[in-house]
Structure 1
Amino acid sequence: MVKLYDGGVYLVGGNKIVEEKDVAKVQELTGQAANKAEAKKGTIAYSILSAHNVSDNMDKLRIKFDAMTSHDITFVGIVQTAKASGMERFPIPYVLTNCHNSLCAVGGTINEDDHVFGLSAAKKYGGIYVPPHMAVIHQYMRETMAGCGRMILGSDSHTRYGALGTMAVGEGGGELVKQLLCDTYDIAYPGVVAIYLDGKPQPGVGPQDIALAIIGAVFKNGYVKNKVMEFVGPGVASMHTDYRNGVDVMTTETTCLSSIWRTDEDTKQFLTMHGRPDAYKELNPADVAYYDGMVYVDLSTVKPMIALPFHPSHTYEIDELNANLGDILREVEKTEQLIADNPQLGFSLTDKIVDGKLQVQQGIIAGCAGGTYSNIMEAAHILRNAHLGQDEFTLSVYPSSIPVYMDLVKKGAFTQLLTAGAVIKTAFCGPCFGAGDTPANNALSIRHTT
């Protein structure tokens, strides 16, 4: 069950929900009358934004970030613009990853020239260079840069490290140039919406299922548009941090500005495992915190989900899809006819129904959402002592970083996947944005990616 509250909500003691219309209950619970203005300061988001705001006005924020990141489609123009504007050094840590145009030409670019440019820029201006195939942009930032109470700016849509206590924002290159020139990120104070997690996920329900359930509920009505999603409630503890990362990075698909999660010992364990125990501190809302809205999620009720074209908010439970396969796929085909520039292209999904079931030709597990250690390990367990067959279906698996790759090798997961007929590839974001593993004409690809 995913429930959206109609108005503002007070969260008392981290686990008691009081709707604004019932504000008198706050006094019953705390012994003090509710002060909305003070309670707004009780969110985790407020504490982080106020710490990074260099103006005296919290209504109109002027933010300076702790670090930045870009990949090889965006960093060339950003660095060149900043250089032309007088930049002499990167004033904050700036990570330049090479995970987007590593394995194919995109828009006619010469990939290796981009990579060499990134290396030269890192050497000249003091940046951090991540070679091709080493890590996808967001996994690198999770492992090396994210930390509790920090803020990170990235020139990629899915810049999200909320599960590690970091408020991260994905923006256009111009905003990164401003930071390189020691200017600020100027925005009005955003609304903050609580994502209250209760219960725990059922076996077989993964982070993408939780994310798609939330996206399906909030996208079309703009419930969290340009707001901060703050994950709270007892259900957070039911997920390990790698699982939380998989949910968190998908918040981009809700149209929110950023995300932040309460942190705990599991967060500390993740950061310690990556050699950064000092990056941890406990983050929780104050005893009384006011939110501009709340999304209540009973994790135990979420079932395996699928998102169909043409947006991740077009979500269905897989049981529902299988039960109404023809009707649902015909509706998707009708939508394509409404938006297509060329209605003669012949887009079809219903022809993939074979003996009453949906037949697919390609599977991909990749990126900052799908290529995490725990997701790939789950796939290996599912395919143990099984085989994909030797027909048209193929499965490619892209681990999100070399550390993830090495641990999966060490623990035998890749042996299981290779034995089953999967192909193991290197860290690459292409399958997420359409620049890798392009399926055959009229083939259907299912992708465990952002």
Structure 2
Amino acid sequence: MVTTYENGCFLLNGTTLVLDDNDASAKLSAEGFDGVTKEQAKENTICYGILKAHNTSDSMDKLCVKFDKLTSHDITYVGIIQTARASGLTRFPIPYVLTNCHNSLCAVGGTINEDDHMFGLTAAQKYGGIYVPPHQAVIHQFAREMLASGGSMILGSDSHTRYGALGTMAIGEGGPELVKQLLGQTYDVDMPGVVAIYLEGKPKKGVGPQDVALAIIGKVFGDGYVKNKVMEFVGPGVKNLSADFRIGVDVMTTETTCLSSIWQTDDEIKDFYDIHGRAADYKELKPGKVAYYDGLVKVDLGSINPMIAMPFHPSNVYEIDEVNRNAADILADVEKKAKVSFGDKVEFSLMNKLKDGKFMVDQGIIAGCAGGGFENICAAADILKGKFIGNDRFTLSVYPASTPIYMEIVKNGAAATIMESGAILKTAFCGPCFGAGDTPANNAFSIRHSTRNFPNREGSKVQSGQIASVALMDARSIAATAANKGVLTPATEFVGEFNKYKYHFDSAIYKNRVFDSHGVADDSVELQLGPNIKDWPSMVALTDNLLLKVVSEIHDPVTTTDELIPSGETSSYRSNPLGLAEFTLSRKDPAYVGLAKEVYAQEIKRREDVPMEELDNELVKAVKTIKTKFSDVNSSNTGIGSTIFAVKPGDGSAREQAASCQKVLGGWANIANEYATKRYRSNLINWGMLPFIIDEGELPFKNKDYIFIPGIRDAVYNKSEEIKAYAVSESGLKEFSLRLGNLTDDERQIILDGCLINYNRVK
């Protein structure tokens, strides 16, 4: 089905694979490529060509990338623009699209959400951007329809910024990376590895893009096969996939932890651009005659069956038929894994979903950048035609990804078919994907064609005793389950026919409603600031030494950004740094905020030149122990802050707030065995937090212990590979080692200055 290979490979003429083994040279020679080296062939990937065209450094090993366009939504753009303003922003130097698809409901928090939207509109007017009003389109669909172009690069402040199927290399990062682009700076990264995703065959009837995506994620996530690499989709199977199908697979590549994705393009993609009135933006992309890839994932499309990602991760993948055959065992395994994350905080059971041997589902959702595409919805309508979801517990909601898609399914009758089945058709909104819409009942089981199924992504609150489950499935199998009144059903059991629907894009919808400055800034416009929109608090430069208190210790295999800063209703406070910080780790470690604040209160006193001997008793005792070895420690040279330990933090969203909330509460570092994604580590760095790495094994400290790091400023400045630290206890100091990993010179300076805002002010 999906196979990975230990070695890299050569791709000849876009079709023939030659594995990088002892026979590779002979095979290359036999194909007429005698003497071609790996280094030469690496330059013939699609990825290499695009990165070379956007690299501003004199080295292809150390990239300094400038993007063509930027895009953000309404729980990220306020913070980004506020950060850029504090750093001297006067106008948007490249097209910057502000969409409103996350805080669209404007139903909680008083005026908060609509205040953010008005900030976005006035910012687009003032600085020369593009503003997409709420309910018009989800961020990624608008980008596909209006922004993507062959060979270009887009940077977005959402982790699912992926437009590779259309020939655009797109990357999702935290807000500070967009700030850098707005200020004329660069995205600095080592040349990533490139992995060939070699497609062959043709999907069977009833199998959709989410099925293919989940099959790939299930294979490559666990061992990090494509982590921080670029996935390049090639091979003879590509031509057998429609543009919508490719888009549906592509958007889910984020869940592999890859850096970005890119696909070979053809007439199918040319037609996509033609339909959207942008024929000039199409560019044929394909590897050179001989291209080398650092890894190979072979995907036999014809062998993939309808898939389901069981709670609570997109990589927890099974075939739907397998779940139906072995439901009791699989549900028991999910319950066991949930126990690791939730402990005794909630009563969690899935066994009651089995009724008369059938797995009963409570809710279906087809939505957002992954599920709300035209072909997905039309296929769902074909399956639902003449069927009824019933009047018991099961519900179904469908969210088209944009108003033009909504308009077209109204015109072709798919909308009527869906609503006749008892399903509800809603506007373009990302809410179901992050816990702000269609929250199910406690202990309900929801199947969704969306992007993630982390704990709480459906909107429940563990701290309040609430928990529901999300499983990821393709729209087709969700519709088949709905047609079967909630009995888990793969779409391959659908005996009818899928119709061929022609898509017609109505450009007037955007032309009549979206504000487009066409790059012209208007200085006379005043930003509209609501009472919840707050500036970032002041932050200080890194001190000579650090005294850190561990205020949370997390031993889950992976800690998601949803656990670091929850999504859902907390999103309304994304424009209020201190207000949002109150929710930090609230669903994972409710004691964190209080402990962090206690430590930060001592740091504030330190900044006011209060001697360390006059701080709280616990800290004074720690300082007394430290001074037995480091007698010069005092308030002027030693910062006081908090830190957390997590095994592997940062999987999931690009949200910078996962780091900034720790920072504004006095956090000065994270300590981890590894970081789940580059984007989370970048967020830490851009907020002046030290991304420490410690070797796996027994920790030399525990929660609520103090850690002293002498000479940390010099260690950062001098690029020290090993950094001495000391666990502080009543019995003395226990030495251990920390590392920071690779940092660019600019990243080191950002940490030294205290954060990206300070760095730019100094510049």
Instruction: Tell me which residue corresponds to 2:390.
Output: 389
Distance 1:192 1:297 in 2: 16
Distance 1:327 1:193 in 2: 35
Is 2:13 the partner of 1:7? no
Contact 1:9 1:20 (8 Å CA) reproduced: yes
Q: 1:348 deviation in Å?
A: 1.2
Is 2:448 the partner of 1:438? no
Contact 1:104 1:435 (8 Å CA) reproduced: no
Instruction: Tell me which residue corresponds to 1:401.
Output: 402
Contact 1:82 1:177 (8 Å CA) reproduced: yes
Counterpart residue identity of residue 18, structure 1: V
Any residues of structure 2 matched to 1:17-416 within 5 Å, and which? 17-21=17-21, 22-24=23-25, 25-103=27-105, 110-340=112-342, 342-416=343-417
Contact 2:47 2:194 (8 Å CA) reproduced: yes
Counterpart residue identity of residue 278, structure 1: A
Secondary structure at the aligned position of 1:223 is classed as coil
Distance 1:242 1:419 in 2: 25
Per-residue CA shift, 1:132-177, capped at 9, x if unaligned?
Answer: 0000000000000001100000000100000000000000000000
> CA 1:105/1:291 → structure 2, altered by over 3 Å: closer, same or farther?
farther
Per-residue CA shift, 1:194-224, capped at 9, x if unaligned?
Answer: 0000001000000000000000000000000
Counterpart residue identity of residue 69, structure 2: A
Q: 1:34 deviation in Å?
A: 2.4
Gaps of 5+ in 2: 452-763
Comparing both chains, which one has the higher relative contact order based on Cα–Cα distances under 8 Å and sequence gaps of 6 or more? 1
Aligned length in residues: 449
Distance 2:179 2:234 in 1: 33
Instruction: Choose 1 or 2 for highest CA Rg.
Output: 2
Per-residue CA shift, 1:262-310, capped at 9, x if unaligned?
Answer: 0000100001111100011110000000000000000000000000111
Per-residue CA shift, 1:314-338, capped at 9, x if unaligned?
Answer: 0000011111000000000000111
Contact 1:104 1:436 (8 Å CA) reproduced: no
> CA 1:109/1:445 → structure 2, altered by over 3 Å: closer, same or farther?
farther
Distance 1:287 1:442 in 2: 54
Secondary structure at the aligned position of 1:30 is classed as coil
> CA 1:162/1:393 → structure 2, altered by over 3 Å: closer, same or farther?
same
Per-residue CA shift, 1:50-82, capped at 9, x if unaligned?
Answer: 000011100000000000000000000001111
Contact 2:106 2:114 (8 Å CA) reproduced: no
Per-residue CA shift, 1:236-266, capped at 9, x if unaligned?
Answer: 0000101100000000000000000000001
RMSD between aligned residues? 1.1
Counterpart residue identity of residue 410, structure 1: K
> TM-score scaled to structure 2, two decimals?
0.58
**How many percent of aligned residue pairs carry the same amino acid?**
66
Contact 1:122 1:128 (8 Å CA) reproduced: yes
Counterpart residue identity of residue 288, structure 1: V
Contact 1:191 1:228 (8 Å CA) reproduced: yes
Distance 1:273 1:106 in 2: 38
Counterpart residue identity of residue 234, structure 1: P
Contact 2:101 2:429 (8 Å CA) reproduced: yes
Distance 1:63 1:109 in 2: 38
Counterpart residue identity of residue 2, structure 1: V
Secondary structure at the aligned position of 1:445 is classed as strand
Distance 2:391 2:432 in 1: 22
Gaps of 5+ in 1: none
Q: 1:31 deviation in Å?
A: 4.3
> TM-score scaled to structure 1, two decimals?
0.98
Q: 1:106 deviation in Å?
A: 7.3
Distance 1:397 1:410 in 2: 16
> CA 1:423/1:285 → structure 2, altered by over 3 Å: closer, same or farther?
same
Secondary structure at the aligned position of 2:31 is classed as helix
Counterpart residue identity of residue 449, structure 2: H
Per-residue CA shift, 1:369-417, capped at 9, x if unaligned?
Answer: 1000000001100000111111111111000001101110010000000
> CA 1:290/1:80 → structure 2, altered by over 3 Å: closer, same or farther?
same
